[in-house]
Amino acid sequence: MEMNRRTFVKTAAVGGAAATVGGASLSSVLEAVAAPVVETKMSFCDNSCGHHCGRQVDVADGRIVAVRGEPLNRFSLGKLCVKGQTVTGEAYSPHRILHPLKRVGDDWVRTSWDDALGAIAGELRSIRRARRALPGREGLTDDQIRGQLTEDEKLAVACYTTPRTRAEGNTMIFRLRQAFGAKPHWGGCQTCAGNFTRAQRSIMGLQARTNHDVDLHQSKYIVLWAGNWAVNMPVAWQHIQAARAAGAKVVAIDVRKTQSASKADWYLPIRPGTDGALALGILHVLFNYKDGGTGPVLRTADTDPDFTYSRLLEMVHPDPVIGGLAGAQAEVDKLKAAAAAYDPATVESLTWVPAADVLKLAYEIATIGKRQTAFICGSGLSAQMNGFQANRAIQLILGMVGAYGAAGGGSHAKMGAVGLPKLPSAGTNGRWYAFGGSKANDPYGTGEQPPEKTCEDILEGKVKVIFSSGNLLSSRPDTHAHREAFEYMKEHGLIVHIGCYEDESAEYAHWILPLASELEEAGSNHSTGSTGALTWKDQVIPATGEAKAYWWIWNEIGHRVFNFNDAGEFEQELCTLSVKPDHTDNPEYMQPLWPYDTFKNGARGIFDYVWAKGYAAQGGDVPTNPFYGFQWDRLYSWAQRGGVLWPCPPSAYAGGGSPFLCKHPTDPGLASFSSADKLMWLDIGDLWEHGGVPHLQLDLIERPNDTTQAIDWTEDWPLYMTSNKTHAALQQWTSRWDGMTSDIVETVAIDINPATATHLGLVDGDLARVTSPRGSIEMRVKLSERVHPKIINVPPYTGGKSPVAGYAAPTANLLTAQHGDPHTEIPGWMQGKCRIEKVA
Amino acid sequence: MSSGAVTTGSPSASFTLLGEAYEWLGQAFLREPDGDEVRAFLDGQADLPDLLAGSNRRVVAAQEMLAEVRRDFSGRGPEQAELDLAALYARLFVGPHRERVSPYESVHVPDETDAEAPDSGPLLMGPSVPIMRALYAVAGVEPVNPRNLPEDHIGLELAFAGWLLSEEGRSHEDGAELLRLVVGDHLARWVPSFAQQIEEMAPRSYYAAIAQMALGLIEFHAGTL
């Protein structure tokens, strides 16, 4: 038994708690440990929903000892939901992976960062060498070769990431993708809100919601459409409660009587996948009925400037492509024609919403809400077969009543961000660059490729390297496709997994790189959240083990691929950014060439560069304390040149960790409607062929004529299956599994109506088997009047190999559709058809 | 048996040997064995010195288990054995598998510092971390810790106990009290859980054997404090 190394060495320094009582007795040192010096660090939550609630973290001796809401944050008002509160469990989970690992056969062994990064970069270098060696490419620069890449070559490197990383990490990922011509891949936002964002871009150019959630206080009529904020975003939910307390009427439309719906003034159950039809029904009423259903509600601008047909014209008027006002009129006429078929009786047959309620809803929007009508567009609207058109129709209702550009109006969605490409944070985030859609009839996408499409490419042998983050196998809508693809890549390609935790995806990887958790990484948020600001967040605690920040990992890979010792080569490849030449919204900080030092100096270097350039581009000076919050004058100056509707800091706001008073830069404020040169335009005719008809597509849910609410038990698939989001799902999605959250809030069970359960002989707590055309799972049932007898609700994303007992295997992801919205390819994972039976 | 084996049964020599055993066990849990160490194991040079080998029945059983493992490895050759042990190390202590054994004290010992707080389950970086940091600091030592492990790692705690039993450690003013704390208040409290989990996950394996060996020595030692 021989030692060849020493584990402890003498030190003169006395650190940690002992330092506070240097030279004191052992007992007093231990007393000091028991009562440590606590430092409160300002932070913001970066978990899942994108609201970035203000958060204070108490740190003692480098450890988290307490977490609480930041009371001065004007959005979160001192509140944190369970996701924000359990950040300790996230950072200190015993399921963290703390060291790089490499696969050896069916096993893994711990390795060094140098070993891992060197091997990964070597693979990328060989792809690069092979491209350069092809005939006709001799002597060309990488940039020139990039322009010649075939579609198949662009698929060789696939980078999945999660949007909850710091902006600086995303910058590096984006640039490395660019260097290989790789398509960006969806983050989680696409799966839950991709149809919403596309719909909004198609109408008004903004990628996300138009009004901040604090603005809900000014709303008169709030429609919570297929979202369950009371559970999933309770911090934002408080603003709905406040609005209701102030007299606003809250209406919930959902396939399931969610906790939010149960708190609403009016709950409207709806048949899955038919929200677009209901929206067109409302438009039909607004175009054709008046009070009480006896005549036209809509008047001209001459009679009612707040609620006018011309308000919709105003939205489309600036577009030169469609011929100014005449063109706009034509587009609105198309909309009217599209809505013509959706009279209330037809809508009732399609949606199960009684015709009288369709009329009542439209009437109340027009008379109670008017411009102060706010729509909260939940994930259930977006993650459905008709997501794109349903969201377009819904948002056009707001246009009809003039609720865009109005305080208390507008649309709200999952994302905490406002998609203003002029914000300096956009400069760090590749998502804002114009790409064009991933396919011809998806012009409102940002070029991101659906992961399910990449699965097909993988099986065709086109993908050589996958960088995966988050637990794709259990969190993406199509678990089957990902399992098959990852199994293929395990044998024929290279999988690099970058993550915090053990999960099913990691188990396929050849290399596993430990990622720093949220509080262990410094940087700015890629989008503006509750502060409406480009917000820098210091590292709150040191990284545990050998975990590293996203930015660091990608920077190190980049250096190794593009000649670590040659700043010129690195600069050319990673500091050069190809953007569309007609992308006119590129201020200076988004220009192609960034100095090499910008990257060399780490996350803060990028942030400082972007910030400085952003200010310079706006003609201002760099403020001395720029790191929290835009100043009033800056935001106002932008408002003058196009307009933003966003609460902003008061003029006296000096910066700091807390945001600002709610205030609008103009009164009432105008949203920024982008011009047509970015393909973001209302073009009702071309993309309206389904017109919100419940386009219940393909094999999983094709029953457009099955409008009866009765169950035909002789059918193979007699029931609808819906799904929803859970806290555990949100956490797992973002590469940050947090078992503590699941333990606290989750009860995984199938919701089934008691009448249906009785027919099947099921009682509360029974184990049942749900089968869809894609597979079967077993899960306990919970009898609930919250769901229609013809609908069962199966929770998603709680399966895979999550480390929490009871969360293995069953998940809606094994049952849901292969197919997505026909325009966007976004999977309609929140709906399907199924049968259910008791497990003996 | 190593060159450090003793022929005397003096208490001082026993402490030295126990310290060396702690240090060896600490290193064995801190990192995968390298080629030389694997060869030493396969050659039977990793056994405890005679003076410690019979400390108690658990240690005796652990020695037997280790010999059994060695026999199992005999046909593999050093390189394969090194790889197999590295893979077992990763599977038990690093990941990415869902089932593994945390080598950190705070995961095994519930945080009782805030009785009002909801049960958060076992976490890394619990209260044992600042305590161990303080104990190291009081002793005037710091761990060689290139992998940035939390300071309550089994390997660091064992090696610290080993240092405290070294001549240098024994001469430290608070050495005896520090030893009582690290062995009695820490190692003795959680290594039973640690060793049991390894036995459940990788029964009669190399790491099950040395975990039992560590536990046996701790139990033996704690009885003398």
Q: Is the pLDDT of residue A56 over 50?
A: yes
What is the identity of the amino acid at A198?
R
Q: What's the pLDDT at A615?
A: 47
Residues 84-143 of B with CB under 8 A from A: 86-87, 89-91, 94-98, 100, 102, 104, 107, 113, 118, 120-126, 129-131, 133-134, 136-138, 140-143
Whether residue A630 is predicted with pLDDT greater than 50 in this model: the reply is no
How many degrees, rounded to 5, is the angle at CA A751 between CA A748 and CA A755? 150
The residue assigned the tokens 């944070």 is A425
- Choose the closest CB to B142 out of A9, A97, A107: A9
Chain A, window 503-522: residues with a beta carbon less than 8 angstroms from a chain B beta carbon: 503, 506-507, 509, 512
**pTM, 2 dp:** 0.86
pLDDT at position A638, please?
41
Q: What pLDDT, on the 0 to 100 scale, is given for residue A209?
A: 55
**Mean pLDDT over each residue of chain B, to the nearest integer:** 88
**So what's the pLDDT on residue A195?**
86
**Window A:753-812, CB contacts with B under 8 Å:** 801-803
CB contact under 8 A, A108 and B91: yes
> Which residues of B fall within a CB distance of 8 Å from A520?
none
A782 or A469: which carries more pLDDT confidence? A782
Confidence at residue A617, expressed as pLDDT on a 0 to 100 scale? 43
User: B99: nearest CA in chain A?
Assistant: A803
Q: Do B147 and A4 touch (CB under 8 A)?
A: no
Q: Is the peptide bond before A354 cis (omega within 30 degrees of 0)?
A: no
User: What's the whole-number mean pLDDT along residues A660-678?
Assistant: 31
Q: Using CA atoms, how far apart are residues A528 and A107, in angstroms rounded to an integer?
A: 42
Pairwise CB contact (< 8 Å): B23 & A3:
yes
Say yes or no to pLDDT of B132 above 50: yes
Match 């794109």 to its residue by tokens. A388
pLDDT at A681: 34
Q: What whole-number percentage of chain A has pLDDT above 70?
A: 62
> How much is the average pLDDT of A515-533?
68
Which of A353-367, A433-447, B165-179, B183-197 has maximum average pLDDT? B183-197
pLDDT given at position A796: 77
| Stretch among A132-136, A166-170, A772-776 having the lowest mean pLDDT | A166-170
Which two three-digit tokens encode residue A664? 């609008």
Q: Are residues A269 and A254 in contact, defined by beta-carbon separation less than 8 angstroms? A: yes
pLDDT at B175 over 60: yes
Chain mean pLDDT for chain A: 72
Question: Is the pLDDT at A357 greater than 90, yes or no?
Answer: yes
Main-chain dihedrals φ then ψ at residue A41, nearest 5 degrees = -110, 135
**pLDDT of A20 above 70:** no
- Looking at residue A261, its pLDDT comes to 94
Which residue among B27, B48, B98 places its CB closest to the CB of A3? Answer: B27
Site from B142, B158, B166 to mutate, A interface, most A CB atoms within 10 angstroms? B142
State the pLDDT at residue A55: 82
Instruction: Select from A557, A546, A481, A468 the least CA-distant residue to A507.
Output: A468
Residue in B with minimal Cα distance to A12 = B140
Give the pLDDT band of residue A769 (cuts 50, 70, 90). Answer: very high
Taking residues A365-389, report their average pLDDT: 87
- Residue A826 scores a pLDDT above 90: no
Put simply, the answer to whether B124 touches A544 (Cβ < 8 Å) is yes
Query: Where residue A269 falls among pLDDT bands split at 50, 70, 90?
Result: very high
At B58 the pLDDT is 94
- pLDDT at position B68 over 60: yes
Confidence label for A15 from pLDDT (cuts 50, 70 and 90)? very low
Nearest CA in chain A to B48: A1
* pLDDT at residue A781, rounded to an integer: 92
**Tell me, what's the pLDDT at A172?**
72
3-state secondary structure string across A140-173: CCHHHHHCCCCCCHHHCEEECCCCCCEHHHHHHH
> Using CB atoms and an 8 Å cut-off, which of residues 171-190 of chain B contact chain A?
174, 177-178
A305/B220: higher pLDDT:
B220
Mark yes or no for CB contact B95/A6 under 8 Å: no
Residue A520 Cα, gap to closest chain B Cα (Å) = 13
User: Is the backbone peptide bond immediately before A665 cis, with ω within 30 degrees of 0?
Assistant: no
Q: Measured between alpha carbons, how far is A408 from A416 in angstroms, rounded to an integer?
A: 17
What average pLDDT does this structure show over A812-817? 80
- pLDDT, residue B165, reads 95
Question: Which chain A residue's Cα is nearest to B120?
Answer: A740
Q: How confident is the model at residue A525 (pLDDT cuts 50, 70, 90)?
A: low
Instruction: Annotate A473-519 with DSSP letters as a single string.
Output: HHHSS-HHHHHHHHHHHHHHSEEEEEESB--TTGGG-SEEEEBP-GG
Cβ <8 Å between B37 and A16: no
Summarised one tens digit per residue, pLDDT across range A476-486 is: 788 888 889 99
Name the residue facing B27 among A7, A14, A34 (closest C-beta): A7
* Mean per-residue pLDDT, A287-314: 49
CB of A89 within 8 Å of a chain B CB? The answer is: yes
Q: How far is CA A212 from CA A239, A656, A666, B89, in A?
A: 10, 20, 14, 50
- Of the residues B41, B84, B116, B138, the best mutation for testing chain A's interface (the one with the most A CB atoms within 10 Å of its CB) is B138
Residue A220: which pLDDT band, with cuts at 50, 70 and 90?
A: very high
* A693-723 tens-digit pLDDT: 333 333 334 444 566 889 999 988 899 999 8
Q: Say whether A5 and B138 touch across the interface (CB within 8 A).
A: no
CA-nearest residue to A737 within chain B is B98
Q: Of A387-401, A454-468, A576-590, B41-55, where does mean pLDDT reach its minimum?
A: A576-590
Distance from CA of B46 to the nearest CA of A (A): 4
pLDDT, residue A746, reads 52
Query: A18-22, A183-187, A403-407, A441-445 — which is least confidently predicted?
Result: A18-22
Residue B8 has pLDDT above 90, yes or no: no
Report the gap between the CA of B155 and the closest CA in chain A (Å): 9
- Give the residue-averaged pLDDT of A582-602: 53
Q: In this complex, is the C-beta atom of B203 within 8 Å of any C-beta atom belonging to chain A?
A: no
Using H for helix, E for strand and C for coil, what is the string for A749-811? CEEECHHHHHHHCCCCCCEEEEEECCEEEEEEEEECCCECCCEEECCCCCCCCCCCCCCCCCC
- Do B55 and B213 meet the contact criterion of CB atoms below 8 Å apart? no
CA B20 to chain centre: 11
From CA A169, how far away is CA A185, in angstroms rounded? 15
Q: Between B97, B98, B140, which is nearest A11 by CB?
A: B140
Confidence bin at B30 (pLDDT 50/70/90): very high
**Residue B121 above 70 pLDDT?**
no
Q: A13-17, A125-129, A562-566 — which is least confidently predicted?
A: A13-17
Mutation test of the interface with chain B: which of A4, A7, A104, A106, choosing the one with the most B Cβ atoms within 10 A? Answer: A7
Is residue A298 predicted with pLDDT exceeding 70?
Answer: no
Structure tokens at A647: 């609460």
